[in-house]
């Protein structure tokens, strides 16, 4: 009887191990948006990204990173780098460490490829809708930690054009008016528990004023849907 119970236990554990290894689960979901219409003042720091995900302290967690772009189009391509979660009980430590290294190398290669394809000559920049579409994707995912990192000067140039002096005055002085205009283009749903990072390093006092006016507007929009917004000079 004891032998039968022991064999049954081994079978159950083996099945659990198989399920763990074939089912991709992710504890953390990260989306990186790079503005192809902007000469990026800051480029993604992959080591910072890597450490912020906590893989140095917990290499068995599942992480998925999507890298996409902001351009003059609503729909832009994306690439995905993923590291599915594994059980530290059933996983081989050496193999897991090799998978983490592979994940880090892929992240480096994919980021470099997209950054090198940037085209700053595009006449328009659809920032708000690009962010909203990625935030909708994050909101649909069950991960414990979800974040969107946006590398851009945030100068919207679509149906709502921040380069128009009258419009930009409204961005500074009556942001609720611009918020309404943008949300009419694409409504925004609940963003509870999603972190948003706007990353830009202004090169002058005037540039700083423009960026902060835009960042404060987007902060207002996304915080109204319960996201946590961070404005940073690097990430």
Could you write out the DSSP letters of every residue in 132-146? HHHHHHHHTS--SEE
Whether residue 83 contacts residue 103, with contact meaning beta carbons closer than 8 Å, is answered with yes
- Domain contains 14: no
- Domain contains 175: yes
- Domain contains 185: yes
Domain count, the chain: 1
DSSP bridge partners of 150:
33, 198
Q: What angle do CA 208, 216, 166 make, to 5 degrees?
A: 80
- Domain contains 15: no
CATH number of domain containing 78: 3.40.50
Structure-model confidence comparison of residues 142 and 119, the more confident one: 142
> What's the domain range around 130?
24-232
**What's the pTM value of the predicted model, to 2 decimals?**
0.88
pLDDT in tens, 183-227: 999 999 999 999 999 999 999 999 999 999 999 999 999 999 999
């Amino acid at each position: 009887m004891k032998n039968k119970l022991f064999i049954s236990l081994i079978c159950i554990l083996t099945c659990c191990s198989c399920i763990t290894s074939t089912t991709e689960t992710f504890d953390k979901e990260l989306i990186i948006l790079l503005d192809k219409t902007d000469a990026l003042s800051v480029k993604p720091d992959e080591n910072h990204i890597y450490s912020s995900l906590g893989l140095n302290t917990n290499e068995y967690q599942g992480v998925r990173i999507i890298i996409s772009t902001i351009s003059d189009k609503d729909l832009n391509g994306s690439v995905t780098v993923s590291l599915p979660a594994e059980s530290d009980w059933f996983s081989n430590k050496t193999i897991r460490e090799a998978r983490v290294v592979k994940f880090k190398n892929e992240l480096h290669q994919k980021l470099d490829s997209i950054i090198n394809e940037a085209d700053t000559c595009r006449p328009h920049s659809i920032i708000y809708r690009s962010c909203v579409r990625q935030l909708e994707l994050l909101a649909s995912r069950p991960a414990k930690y979800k974040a969107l990192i946006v590398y851009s000067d945030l100068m919207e140039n679509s149906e709502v054009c921040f380069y128009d002096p009258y419009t930009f005055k409204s961005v500074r002085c009556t942001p609720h008016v611009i918020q309404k205009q943008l949300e009419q283009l694409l409504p925004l749903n609940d963003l509870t528990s999603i972190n948003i990072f706007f990353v830009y390093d202004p090169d002058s006092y005037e540039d700083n004023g423009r960026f902060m006016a835009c960042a404060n507007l987007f902060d207002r929009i996304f915080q109204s849907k319960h996201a946590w917004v961070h404005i940073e000079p690097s990430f």
